[in-house]
Chain A
Amino acid sequence: TASTSDQPIQWRFAIEETIGSVQHQYAMKFKELVEERSNGEIEVTIYPYGTLGTSDQITELVDMEVVQFAMASPGHLGKLIPEVQVFLLHFLFSDDDEINNQVLNKDPRLQKTFAELYARKRLKLLSIFSEGWQVWTTKDPIHRPEDFEGVKMRVMTSPLLIAAYNAYGASPTPLPYSEVYSALQLNMIDGQENPVFAIQEMNFYEVTDWMIFARHAPFITTAVTNREFFDSLPAERQELVTGVVADLNDYILKVQREFNQERLSLIRKNKPDLEIITELTPEEREAFRQASQPVRDRFIRMTGEDGRKLLEELKQTIKEYEDQQQN
């Protein structure tokens, strides 16, 4: 068989996070399944964060076919494909992970819409998954938009995120990730948002007093490959990739939940007096949802008709799956 040929083919997979992250877990399982199912004809090398560059650079590397696979999260990819910034909008998704997983990966219509968006940039979308909910850590409790008045929140440099926190009355402060801890400690900023695993890893909970699960947005990332590379593969290899990716969707949801659960227990153990708001009441969520409406208009202004249709389609699909769940 072909597996006796001397050198295995090299595929390179660049991720945006460090070893031990949800993305790394995804890439490792991808490597394991691809190598196993290709009978060792393919070898996958994983490049964790910091080895090949920033998120922006990694996407360019996929495009130049320096790496074949990569993670591309909307915060960065939004600069190339403005429509994917839809994932940054607040209170859009269901507060049930499982429903979001189905919407993002199993709905054929949405799959087609997204595939076309990515194809414009010579990318092939493999999967969309959540790495857990964005969680606020702050110095004071937050229940309503008014509670954000004057709060200096650190956000990624994305116009929609800045607009969102402006809409709540906060003053969004862009800051490099590595300065967030010190800035919280010195009260240069009052809060930040990140998924639980990042909050634990960077010890942000040590320098804030409240942790608020508003479930305002999942921290979403996407796995991509170079479209020309993918199309040039023989049919069996293409099926190999799509098969592995399909199996990974449920796997990564499980991993993500376990990861964030474990890290949350660790945080609780390390700082027992940390105040945690595990959820907001439906009224409180509604107040935030209302306050964040202007951000959706902004999104539509930024992305035009395509963006408006996508947003509608996404809202529609989420509602359909939520209704199904109810019945």
Chain B
Amino acid sequence: MNKLFAIIQRIEAFLLAWSIISIAALSIGNVVCRALFGFSLAFVGEVSQFLIIVVTFIGLSYAASQGRHIRMTALYDQLNPRWRKIMMVIINSLTALLMLLLAGYAFEYINTVRFLDTISPVLQVPLYLIYLFVPLGFILSAIQYGLTVFRNLTAPDVYISYSQKDEYETTVVGEV
């Protein structure tokens, strides 16, 4: 279990980091091209959009594995560890179910996109292929939330993710 967890996390981390680096490199290249040579690279916008989808939905699972969520802890903080554990089990089981449900809806939507045969205007890539990262992200995060439940049921402490204990250093950070 630990090994599988580690492998998934490494792949996710790789995708996240290199998607961001690629977006940066492409955008910089595009500006330089336009400023110096007067033409825009039309594919840059499209590829960046694809990568943002990868970042968001793969990141969804990676964030879950790190216990990084924006959530309100005002009431939760008042609970004793026993009740925190119970809440963690409830929250993570229900969130896992929701993620699976969304994965199902995502496949339904992808079916429509596939039927319509929508292709990206510049690179002519079928969009449904890119959108497959969406249900993939939902399923991977359902697994993460499931693992969190498993960890809370089998280990003594309260865990906010499979590998992270519920401590102030690692909790919830509002990002904006």
In the assembled complex, the Cα of A172 lies from the Cα of B39 at a distance in Å of 8
In the assembled complex, the Cα of A80 lies from the Cα of B115 at a distance in Å of 10
Chain A residues whose CB sits within 8 angstroms of the CB of B32 once the complex forms: none
In the assembled complex, the Cα of A44 lies from the Cα of B40 at a distance in Å of 43
User: Within 8 Å of chain B (Cβ to Cβ): is A284?
Assistant: no
Nearest CB in chain A: distance from B104 CB, A: 15
Q: Looking at the complex, which of B50-58, B118-126, B150-158, B163-171 is the stretch in contact with chain A? A: B118-126
Q: Report whether A59 and B116 are in contact in the complex, using a CB–CB cutoff of 8 Å.
A: yes
Interface string of A133-170 (1 = CB under 8 A from B): 00000000000000000101000011100100000000
In the assembled complex, the Cα of A91 lies from the Cα of B58 at a distance in Å of 47
Q: Pick the contact of B40: A80, A159, A174 (CB < 8 A).
A: A174
Q: Report whether A121 and B45 are in contact in the complex, using a CB–CB cutoff of 8 Å.
A: no
Q: Pick the contact of A60: B38, B39, B42, B116 (CB < 8 A).
A: B116
Q: Report whether B42 and A171 are in contact in the complex, using a CB–CB cutoff of 8 Å.
A: no
Q: Report whether B39 and A157 are in contact in the complex, using a CB–CB cutoff of 8 Å.
A: no
Interface residues of A in 99-157 (CB under 8 A from B): 121-122, 150, 152, 157
User: Within 8 Å of chain B (Cβ to Cβ): is A56?
Assistant: yes
Q: Pick the contact of A157: B34, B115, B117, B121 (CB < 8 A).
A: B121
In the assembled complex, the Cα of A122 lies from the Cα of B38 at a distance in Å of 42
Chain A residues whose CB sits within 8 angstroms of the CB of B42 once the complex forms: 157, 162, 174
Interface residues of A in 171-205 (CB under 8 A from B): 171-174
With known contacts A162-B42, A174-B45, A60–B113 Cβ distance under 8 A: yes
Q: Report whether A79 and B112 are in contact in the complex, using a CB–CB cutoff of 8 Å.
A: no
Q: Report whether A79 and B40 are in contact in the complex, using a CB–CB cutoff of 8 Å.
A: no
Q: Pick the contact of A79: B38, B115, B118 (CB < 8 A).
A: B118
Chain B residues whose CB sits within 8 angstroms of the CB of A150 once the complex forms: 38
Chain B residues whose CB sits within 8 angstroms of the CB of A159 once the complex forms: 121-122
Chain A residues whose CB sits within 8 angstroms of the CB of B120 once the complex forms: 79
Total A-B contacts with CB atoms under 8 angstroms apart: 42
Q: Report whether A171 and B122 are in contact in the complex, using a CB–CB cutoff of 8 Å.
A: no
Q: Report whether A171 and B119 are in contact in the complex, using a CB–CB cutoff of 8 Å.
A: no
With known contacts A162-B42, A173-B40, A174-B42, A122–B115 Cβ distance under 8 A: yes
Q: Report whether A63 and B115 are in contact in the complex, using a CB–CB cutoff of 8 Å.
A: yes
Chain B residues whose CB sits within 8 angstroms of the CB of A157 once the complex forms: 42, 45, 121-122
Minimum CB distance partner of A123 in chain B: B116
Q: Report whether B121 and A79 are in contact in the complex, using a CB–CB cutoff of 8 Å.
A: yes
With known contacts A171-B39, A173-B40, A174-B40, A80–B116 Cβ distance under 8 A: yes
Q: Report whether B117 and A64 are in contact in the complex, using a CB–CB cutoff of 8 Å.
A: no
Chain B residues whose CB sits within 8 angstroms of the CB of A56 once the complex forms: 118
Nearest CB in chain B: distance from A48 CB, A: 23
In the assembled complex, the Cα of A64 lies from the Cα of B111 at a distance in Å of 10
Q: Pick the contact of A80: B34, B109, B117, B122 (CB < 8 A).
A: B117
Chain A residues whose CB sits within 8 angstroms of the CB of B122 once the complex forms: 157, 159
Chain A residues whose CB sits within 8 angstroms of the CB of B38 once the complex forms: 150, 152, 171
Q: Report whether A121 and B121 are in contact in the complex, using a CB–CB cutoff of 8 Å.
A: no
Nearest CB in chain B: distance from A19 CB, A: 28
Interface residues of B in 36-76 (CB under 8 A from A): 38-40, 42, 45
Q: Report whether A158 and B115 are in contact in the complex, using a CB–CB cutoff of 8 Å.
A: no
Chain A residues whose CB sits within 8 angstroms of the CB of B113 once the complex forms: 60
22 pairs, A vs B, C-beta closer than 8 Å = A56-B118, A59-B116, A60-B109, A60-B112, A60-B113, A63-B112, A63-B115, A78-B121, A79-B118, A79-B120, A79-B121, A80-B116, A121-B115, A122-B115, A152-B38, A157-B42, A162-B42, A171-B38, A171-B40, A173-B34, A173-B40, A174-B40
Binding site for B on A (CB under 8 A): 56, 59-60, 63-64, 78-80, 121-122, 150, 152, 157-159, 162, 171-174
